[in-house]
Amino acid sequence: MASADATTDHDGAAFPVPELRERAEACAARLCEAGEFLLCSHIDADGLTSAAVATAAFERAGFDFETAFFKQLDADAVASIAATDYDVVCFTDFGSGQLDVIAPREEAGEFVPVIADHHQPAEAETEFHLNPLLEGLDGASELSGAGAAYLLARALGDATETDNRDLAALAVVGAVGDMQDNEGGLSGANEALVADAVAAGALAEVTDLALYGRQTRPLPKLLEYASEARIPGISNDQAGAIEFLTDLDVPMKDADGEWRRWVDLDGDERRTVASALIRRAVSSGVPSERVDALVDTTYVLADEEPGTELRDVSEFSTLLNATARYERADVGLAVCLGDRGAALDRARTLLRNHRRNLSEGLQWITNEGVEREEHVQWFDAGTRIRETIVGIVAGMAVGANGVSARKPIVAFADKGAGETKVSARGSGFLVREGLDLSAVLREASRAVGGDGGGHDVAAGATIPADEREAFLEAVDELVGEQLADE
């Protein structure tokens, strides 16, 4: 494999995550040898950006490939992949957790898997496997699926003398979409991807007000919907948010009488609003850690138009979720690859629908509440919340009225065909106490004839619809055992 030396690429830039270079190069070499293959990816924001990073790199390398998206990589999906004519299949943002299903297909000579993933691997081996967990890096917080795909792209760039560092910006969107940004921004291996994206001129790292919607929301809505801060008299209070802004010595409406957005304010105006917001939060008794988090590291895509959903990585990731989770992964992929016409228009329509569904789902949980077991809390939305977004809604509900942040939350939704989708969410605190939801959902789902996996802090499963009670009993017991061990 051609490279400048053991630590730098042909362009002189250091390989961003040295621990994974050898694995990335092996995967890249196998794809170069094949030249023709199938690319398969997941349907969330991380899966879409993974596919986009891979697609861009593969096109630059001149490969002949097809792309397919899957909601879940189960035995049926793997069987359908094996039935194609492709001898090599590249998996991004899944594959590791399904190795026990994939490996027998490989052993039978049906296809060679090349995996770039960050989820907990199943207990099976394969040769071309790029996953941070295999080298002691945290796949839930340090590197996303898109990050793994980017490392593959960097290795391909080395092999084909192509500079793929601009693709790191999409990897950052994937990491943020996978909720890997915490206080201080992205960390671990992700920091190296941020550095690559900044060096390529594709990303800017900015200390700013850390509220969702800085690019697109009118200022009152920005504050009213600031669930991150939960400031009494402002958050979830339209009149209170307007009153707060009106009392500041900053013009809040433009010449046409329309509310300005955060992006429309100059530096001094932003400092005025942020300072007043922090003072209000402190005086209202908001916990210090939430006050400190009001201003934090944020990321903007340098080439995107200010004031659009594509400029801020958090808003971009939400836009992508709004496409793939509604069976339009093709639209999200096209947007990632630069379509700012019909695909972006369609994505914006899907985004409006997605926001409405999230709002209605959260309201349903607020009205209905959650059930509590000894170690977990749960709700069964049936058909009232779409199974592709029930995990997002569950995560949003944690910390809201009646939903504890001290217990994992398990969400059920009807998947059809006699199956139930399960999504579980924990917290960094619970993970530090010993929680591993990937192990819990995998064991509990398989015990009732289903399957699952994911990360320690967030995982999913599919189970037979009539096995909910047995599954829930197993989950509660397993979580109890994990947290009791610490």
The pLDDT of residue 9 is 61
The pLDDT of residue 5 is 44
Write the single-letter amino acid at 116. A
The two structure tokens encoding residue 119: 């989820």
CA distance 129 to 89: 12
3-state secondary structure of 8: strand
Mark residue 248 as left, alpha or beta (left: phi above 0; alpha: psi -120 to 50; beta: remaining).
beta
CA distances from 406 to 230, 392, 394, 429 (A): 18, 18, 14, 8
Single pTM value for the model: 0.90
Q: Which of 346, 335, 388 is nearest to 71 (CA)?
A: 388
CA distance 83 to 394: 36
3-state secondary structure of 384: coil
The pLDDT of residue 154 is 98
Tokens 């194609």 belong to 84
The pLDDT of residue 289 is 86
Terminal CA-to-CA distance of the chain, rounded, Å? Answer: 45
Tally of CB atoms within 10 A around 484:
10
Q: φ and ψ at 380, to 5 degrees?
A: -120, 105
Do residues 95 and 145 touch, judged by C-beta distance below 8 A?
no
The pLDDT of residue 126 is 97
Mark residue 200 as left, alpha or beta (left: phi above 0; alpha: psi -120 to 50; beta: remaining).
alpha
Write the single-letter amino acid at 31. L
The pLDDT of residue 486 is 53
3-state secondary structure of 471: helix
The two structure tokens encoding residue 6: 């053991």
CA distance 269 to 263: 11
369 contact partners, CB below 8 Å, separation of at least 6: 379, 402
CA distances from 264 to 48, 253, 307 (A): 30, 10, 8
Do residues 85 and 65 touch, judged by C-beta distance below 8 A?
no
Mean pLDDT by 10 residues, the chain (486 residues): 46 87 98 97 96 98 97 93 98 96 97 97 96 96 97 97 97 95 92 98 96 96 84 91 93 94 96 96 91 94 97 96 94 98 98 95 94 97 96 88 89 97 93 94 96 91 97 98 82
116, β-bridge pairs? 92, 130
Q: What is the DSSP string of 272-336?
A: HHHHHHHHHHHHTT--HHHHHTTEEEEEEETTSPTTSTTTBHHHHHHHHHHHHTTT-HHHHHHHH
The pLDDT of residue 1 is 32
Please tell me the number of Cα atoms within 13 Å of 280 on its side-chain side: 22
Tally of CB atoms within 10 A around 123:
7
Do residues 453 and 122 touch, judged by C-beta distance below 8 A?
yes
The two structure tokens encoding residue 139: 């796949």
The two structure tokens encoding residue 221: 């809505």
The pLDDT of residue 7 is 55
Do residues 29 and 309 touch, judged by C-beta distance below 8 A?
no
